[in-house]
């Protein structure tokens, strides 16, 4: 399963990798669906605790702002995903929109997450902003932030 996710991530990251020929530059609509696909793979990788797949998705200098305002770098984020004290059983996204600015893309959406943390069940609903940078033809996330929706 882990290997499969990693391969899927690689295929999604590189424009044209899934189409054999990469002669024609990707259109904005294609880039948008690619980024939405990467967002879904990210959720699956977190649920599967597949940090190898996540390493492919996120840039070394990524900053993560958690729902409680904690600031994590990539290593700390990967360690938090790998931690055995947290089990995300379901993560779903809704109302996602993609905004392209050349080599940068901003994805905004709402997520619902449920699972257990230190043996206790949790459920969260928050809004997120992910910033992606296109580097050597691949999209890499450089910032991710979530804020709980209070009302």
Binding interface with other proteins (CB under 8 A): 61, 63, 65-71, 99, 101-104, 106, 108, 126-127, 129, 131, 133, 142-143, 145-151
Q: Output the smallest distance, CB 94 to other proteins, in A.
A: 12
For other proteins, which is the closer residue by CB, 31 or 50? 31
Q: Is 148 left (phi over 0), alpha (psi -120 to 50) or beta?
A: beta
Q: Output the smallest distance, CB 128 to other proteins, in A.
A: 8
Measured CA to CA, the distance from residue 137 to residue 98 in angstroms comes to: 18
71 exposure class (CB count in 10 Å sphere: 0-12, 13-18, 19+) = exposed
Hey, how many other C-beta atoms are within 10 angstroms of the C-beta on 111?
Answer: 20
For other proteins, which is the closer residue by CB, 120 or 151? 151
For other proteins, which is the closer residue by CB, 48 or 96? 96
- Residue 116: alpha-carbon gap to chain centroid: 20
Q: Output the smallest distance, CB 59 to other proteins, in A.
A: 9
Q: What is the SS3 assignment for 132?
A: strand
Q: Output the smallest distance, CB 126 to other proteins, in A.
A: 6
For other proteins, which is the closer residue by CB, 37 or 126? 126
Please, are residues 141 and 13 in contact by the beta-carbon 8 Å criterion? Answer: no
């Amino acid at each position: 399963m882990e290997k499969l996710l990693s391969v899927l991530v690689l295929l999604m990251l590189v424009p044209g990798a899934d189409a054999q020929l990469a002669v024609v530059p990707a259109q904005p609509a294609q880039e948008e669906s690619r980024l939405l696909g990467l967002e879904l793979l990210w959720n699956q990788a977190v649920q599967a605790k597949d940090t190898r797949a996540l390493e492919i998705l996120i840039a070394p200098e990524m900053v993560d702002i958690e729902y409680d305002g904690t600031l994590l770098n990539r290593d700390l984020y990967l360690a938090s995903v790998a931690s055995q004290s947290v089990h995300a059983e379901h993560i779903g996204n809704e109302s996602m929109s993609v905004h392209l600015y050349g080599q940068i893309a901003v994805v905004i959406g709402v997520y619902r997450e449920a699972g257990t943390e230190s043996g206790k069940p949790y459920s969260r609903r928050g809004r997120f902003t992910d910033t992606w940078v296109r580097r050597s033809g691949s999209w890499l996330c450089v910032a991710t932030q979530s804020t709980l929706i209070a009302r």
